[in-house]
A and B are shown apart, each in its own frame.
Chain A
Amino acid sequence: MTRTSASPLSAGTPERTRFTAVLRAEWTKFRTVRGWVIAPVIAALLCIMFAYLVANGTHTDFCTGAGNCKAGHPFVPTGPNGQAVADSYYTVGRQLTGDGTITTQVTSLTGVISTAMTNVAPSQAQQTRPGLAAWAKAGILARPSTRQGSAYAAVMATGGHGDRFQYNYSHDNPGRSGPVSTSSPRWLRLTRTGDTLTGYDSTNGTTWTRIGAAHLTGLPVTVHVGLFVTSPVSFQTSASGSRTLATATFDHTIIDGHTTPNAWHGQSIGARQQDFYPTLRVGSYQRADSSLVISGSGDIAPAVVQGLLGADTAASSLPFGLTVALIVIIVVATMFITAEYRRGLIRITFAAIPGRRRVLAAKAAVIGAVAFVTAAAAATVAISLGERILQANGAYVFPASASTVVRIIAGTAALATVTAVAVLAVGAITRRSAAAVATGIVVFVLPSIIGSISSGGAVQWLYRLTPAAGLSVLQALPRSAQVDYPYTFANGYYPLAPWAGLGVLTAWAALALGIAAVVLRRRDA
């Protein structure tokens, strides 16, 4: 506040009005117009009301393949960190007590892809064509139990991502790259030492390369170990995905350690009707000479599948109400400045406080604070209310950590603040309500609508480049590099990370504010 203003009116003014005084003046202006005080309250109430309506309008019906639909949602496993996971595969295994090592050779990995989309019943999806999903997995798995969502570590060959060592759904270490075939088989080894599981791969079965290790705290003495095959939904040919099935041949399987005496035991995990993850069919295994041929469908990975599950997040009832609230805030922010121009009050303001940029700063602070409080309060209530009603309606609510919820609330408040300031700046530049209000609304609402009507990439760019990128703060669903999924707007993913999106909006606001500051200084009041 020590910089001198070049405002013509302030020239020769010995003392400058303190910023707090300017701030108080603007705050008094704001709170003494009844409509401006009521509007944010209405904005918050509208936001909450629409969150309630949206949550209430969402009814999940859970349909089985036989066409029986009932209220409620399919079963979604919860992983060790509380995250939603996919955990469906076919395994052939036994119990291992104490330390031990399992070694196997994968000699082939092939697959089929359903020609139908995932949204048809599995019984109608049986027509297939050859094709291997990039994240089809075949390898060795060790876990305390076969309960879905329990901890695990696995070393595997994949359809298109080479060898991998993965554990607890979200951890992934790459090994040797390249596909598996009879001419280029792959050796895999998983070793258990205490709580530590280590994965290796090899091309010849003699020289081993360590891929990664996992420390699974509290691993019981006896664990399930086995060979497994799974194959996730493929989105290569259709936006709604197709079920797949992979088949792998394992040779030279050796378990070195204290195992149960009974023979290999085949088990299908997560392919029941109530399981959410789409599988082509229940897997199977057969013994041929010394080798074991296993086929499986599903995935062991984080669940990122709003499109598959129709799942809601804690914040999913918020966006519409927030948009309504933003429109109200945009109107108030616009009028906070244009009303002064309309009646010539701006001249009195600038005569009283010659530092025009400080007036702009004070106005921005006041309207920003109002928007912040309004949005923060509305989002807090709307999210918890929405979550409660969604659950009451039987919808599956994607688990979100407390930090995610706090981030969404803080992000929403920041979004409203920056929007209000940007619109204020546009109002200062244009001095007219029409431009500021129309721009504000079109910018925030239109991309969502275009996103819903066009499948093209245009909408992705709208959410990268336009101020609408700020809506990225609403992102609640996690992404995962281990899942091939169209992370598009239509599937609930903004193209930018939350804070990056807010950054884009802030850049626009800063630009508008900068232009406003220059224009205010140069222009006669």
Chain B
Amino acid sequence: MIEALRAEWTKTRTTGGTAWLLTGAVAVTIAVSAGSAAATHVSPQSGQEDPTKLALAGIYLGQAVIAVFAVLTIAEEYDTGMIRVSLAAMPHRLILLTAKAATTTALALAAGILAVTGCLLVGRLMLPDAGLDPAHGYPLITISHSPTLRAASGSVCYLVLIALLALGVATAIRDTAPSIAVVLGLLYLPPLLAQAFTEPLRRHIEQIAPMTAGLAIQATTNPHSQPIAPWAGLGVLTAWAAASLLIAALLLRLRDA
């Protein structure tokens, strides 16, 4: 196992795309958060806003880059045929998948921590200009506020789980383009579908869809506006990621390389 881990780590470290994609994920996340903070203008009448959630808006786009990164860690091996070399070197396929999942987790975790920290800083610096300042009853974003801490750590977990979900899908599909389409479709389409429906169907879709359920953790002010409780939502996403990896493991074991 330790050998497989070291091999996967070396692989990921020496692929040109890894650094670019992870830097890109962090940059895109922070940039979108900054952009949406700049575009926010809160008027006194517009009801209660959630500064932390606003600051973390970049996750919506950042997760796509993380997903692409996770898909590529395995799909690129299938694209080039190198998967056969990997499997000849590491014939225990579950160990290979576990090692891949571990390196993906580690890197998504690192990127997630950077991205979320950046987002919160951006929110703390920029949101007061948008009218979300202590004078209007919005304290500055701080990690010592426990719901904010929950939102921040939850968002990092969210990104990691998205990466694992993507890894599982790509292992099952074995081709870059369809894998990315399936993962992004799984993330972005259910919220759109939910919008098209009326209650209570809308709420049910949002409760079981990976993105809407998982991102419920970002709510800090009025948790009842969310379709599902924060940690329960992250649990739903965990179930998605686990199911995806389980199917991937099963197919990887059963199929010829």
Contact = CB atoms under 8 A, between A and B. Distances in A.
Complex contact flag A–B (Cβ < 8 Å): yes
Contacts of A328: 181
Interface in B5-53: 35-36, 39-41, 45-46
Interface string B167-181: 000000001111011
A450 to B, nearest CB: 7
B252 interface: no
Given A57-B201, A437-B177, A454 B192 contact: no
Given A57-B197, A238-B45, A331 B188 contact: no
B77 to A, nearest CB: 13
Interface string B109-131: 00000000000000000000000
Interface in A39-89: 50, 53-54, 57-59
A441 B197 contact: no
Interface in A435-452: 436-438, 441-442, 445-446, 448-450, 452
Nearest to B193: A320
Given A57-B197, A324-B185, A441-B188, A446 B60 contact: yes
A350 to B, nearest CB: 21
Interface stretch (B64-72, B132-140, B152-160): B64-72
A218 interface: no
Contacts of A438: 64-65, 67-68, 180, 184
B41 A445 contact: no
B181 A449 contact: no
Contacts, number: 111
Contacts of A448: 192, 195
Given A442-B64, A445-B192, A446-B60, A437 B197 contact: no
Interface in B65-86: 65, 67-68, 71-72, 75, 79
B185 to A, nearest CB: 6
Nearest to B201: A57
A338 B196 CA distance: 34
A324 B198 CA distance: 20
Interface in B175-220: 175-178, 180-181, 184-185, 188-189, 191-193, 195-198, 201
Nearest to A332: B177
Contacts of B108: none
Interface residues of A, number: 42
Contact of A437 (B40, B46, B176): B176
A437 B65 CA distance: 12
A55 B210 CA distance: 24
A188 to B, nearest CB: 36
B190 to A, nearest CB: 10
Interface in A501-515: none
Nearest to A334: B177
A525 interface: no
A30 to B, nearest CB: 15
Contacts of B71: 434
Most chain A CB within a 10 A radius of its CB, from B71, B75, B176? B176
Nearest to B181: A331
B90 interface: no
Nearest to A448: B192
Contact of B192 (A323, A442, A457): A323
Most chain B CB within a 10 A radius of its CB, from A53, A54, A433, A436? A433
Contacts of A327: 181, 184-185, 189
A458 interface: yes
Q: Is the interface of A mostly helix, strand, loop or mixed?
A: helix
Chain B interface residue number, banded: 35 or more
Interface in A374-428: none
Contacts of A317: 196
Nearest to B65: A438
Contacts of B68: 434, 438
A320 B196 contact: yes
A452 to B, nearest CB: 5
Given A320-B193, A449-B60, A458-B35, A441 B177 contact: no
Contact of B196 (A58, A237, A458, A461): A58
Contact of A445 (B35, B65, B67, B184): B184
A342 interface: yes
B96 interface: no
A455 interface: yes
Contacts of B184: 327, 437-438, 441-442, 445
B57 interface: yes
A442 B63 CA distance: 11
B149 interface: no
B57 A454 contact: yes
Contacts of A330: 181
A410 B203 CA distance: 34
A456 interface: yes
B61 A446 contact: yes
Contact of B79 (A57, A342, A442): A342
28 contacts: A50-B193, A54-B197, A57-B197, A57-B198, A58-B196, A58-B198, A317-B196, A319-B192, A320-B192, A327-B184, A327-B185, A331-B178, A334-B177, A433-B175, A433-B176, A434-B71, A434-B177, A441-B181, A442-B64, A442-B188, A446-B60, A446-B61, A448-B195, A449-B191, A454-B36, A456-B36, A458-B35, A458-B36
10 pairs of A and B residues whose beta carbons are closest in the complex: A458-B39, A433-B177, A57-B197, A433-B176, A445-B188, A54-B196, A441-B184, A437-B180, A331-B181, A437-B177
Given A57-B196, A441-B188, A453-B60, 5 more contacts: A342-B79, A438-B68, A446-B64, A454-B36, A457-B39
Interface of B: 35-36, 39-41, 45-46, 57, 60-61, 64-65, 67-68, 71-72, 75, 79, 175-178, 180-181, 184-185, 188-189, 191-193, 195-198, 201
Interface of A: 50, 53-54, 57-59, 237-238, 317, 319-320, 323-324, 327-328, 330-331, 334-335, 338, 342, 432-434, 436-438, 441-442, 445-446, 448-450, 452-458, 461
